[in-house]
Amino acid sequence: MKKILLLSLFVATLSYAQKTKKVAPDTVCFTKEQAADISFVLDSLWAADDINNGLIASYKKLAKKQDSLIALDSIQIVKQDSIITYQKNIVTDLEKKIELLQPKWNDKKSVWFGFGFITALGSGILVNQLIK
């Protein structure tokens, strides 16, 4: 009896061990080729990520340089504006100087020459009339 019970228990254990387990729906098995492909893709993605991180770092440095150039350009623009206003002030001062240095109508030599000529002619005519 013990042998039959032991034999039936042994057969039951073997039959239970031969059952296939149900695979969970989210569990996926890959072949060696698929696993190698996935590993290759991951390696290439890591390499691309390293390259992208290097590019981002170089672009950040470039952006900092551009910001400093923008600041220098702003300073230069302010300087140029101050130079332009200074030169405009010089131009207005020179225009005022030209205006002040222009001879007036009574400061022209031709007017005094004509006045002197008429005076000399008139005095000559007057003397000639008095002598007659």
Q: How does residue 106 score in pLDDT terms, banded at 50, 70 and 90?
A: confident
Give me the residue label for tokens 């504006």: 81
HSE of 83 in the Cβ direction (CA atoms, 13 Å)?
6
Whole-number pLDDT of residue 9 = 76
Cα 99 to Cα 101: distance, rounded to the nearest angstrom? 6
- Structure confidence by residue, pLDDT tens digits, 24-55: 666 667 888 988 999 999 999 999 999 999 99
